[in-house]
Structure 1
Amino acid sequence: MTVSVCFILGLLLWTRAGGSSSQTRFIQTNRDLQLTVPEEVQLGRDIFNWRFNDRNNIIRLLRGEVDHSDDYKNRVDFFKQNLSLILKNVQLSDSGIYTAEVSGKREDVILSTYDVRVEAPVSPVLLSVDSVFNSPESCNFTVSCTTELSPSISRSFTCDRRTCEEASPAPSDPAPSLHLYLSDVSIICNHSNHVSWRKDTKEKQQVCPFGAEEVCTQETGGTKDIY
């Protein structure tokens, strides 16, 4: 009998203590984000809350009744059956810490924590050929990568018929989201963050047609969006 009572008490304490899982979520502006509670929870008379930055209540659930904060009444969907929350049409100001919490008479238990980081999609990029010098056996060229909101970057390369290498050590990129580099066949300007990616490319053969007597004219490649 004593063993059975101890087992039941231990089970109740384990259920009440719960566990907190924390994770980072990146989301693009104007999208919806679902936040979940990883385990089934029996609330009883306890109060369940979703909170923002540890101070702003989003919703409160008590005895089956849901109370929405005025700031979130038309901005969230809450599901009582699994305690999940959908943030609708998120904006940059929605970045922060979201916490699912049960408040009881003796203690508060954090069920899950999300570090939400809202990012805007990156702007388009333009890859330009600034200069080209061709000879029968080598080609030297300089290209630039430009975008609306970040400083432009440029690189100079030297190619022979088999390989290409940067003419001088690459300076650090002024914008960490903007990169300019070579692949086996292409020159690539890449602009990306955690939620979006845009790029502009040119074929190396277009820029360095070995044996051509004329300097290549400037042109713009295609732009691609990937979400």
Structure 2
Amino acid sequence: MLKANKKFFIVTCIITILPILVGLLLWNQLPERVATHFGTDGTPNGYSSKLVAVIGIYLFCLAIHVFCALVTSVDPKGKNISPKVYRLILCICPLVSIYAGVTVYGNALDYKGVNSTVWINALMAVILIVVGNYLPKCRQNYTIGIKLPWTLADEENWDYTHRMAGKWWILGGVLTFLAGFQSWVDPVYVSLTIIIIVALIPAVASYLHFRKHSL
């Protein structure tokens, strides 16, 4: 799997560490202590050295990216993972890395247009919608998808669960995006609640489906 997507993997690795180049170009403009953690209201509440903010964060993202690529490629049922789904997995860490760069550098340089709460909601929304679109197309495997004992044991249950999950995740993505623009309730908490709900509903339905067909 990895060998067949070698060029795509290399490109996503470059994108993942692209914020390092940007940070080096901005090095003299960045403070010695850079905000790298933010509260749910977007207020900085954690700081790191300039070295960690410019290099450490993105090397960590790269390490996770490589790990995910390798683990997925050695899945015993890897033949069931379509190239599109595999490439989708390879896009997640680069997306997170770019998000982190925009948020961290934008805050450090006091760009007023950067709102970490809106950005994180938009990021989660994009991931939910894109993954939700691909879940129904995801065939049974051990690394990608809703891996429960009954979904792994029964291909029909797997397909049923992922068809349902796809619809819920897309809906959850839309609601998560909209939540970022309201101020009545903390958007991040609303989004986390949505994510938990859209993850639990297919899992519970999958178990009930298993119980119904195992009796």
Which gives a bigger RCO, structure 1 or 2 (Cα 8 Å, sep 6+)?
A: 2
Under TM normalisation by the shorter chain, which class is it? Answer: under 0.3
Higher helix share: 2
TM-score using structure 1 length: 0.19
More strand by share: 1
Computing the radius of gyration over CA atoms, which structure comes out larger, 1 or 2?
A: 1
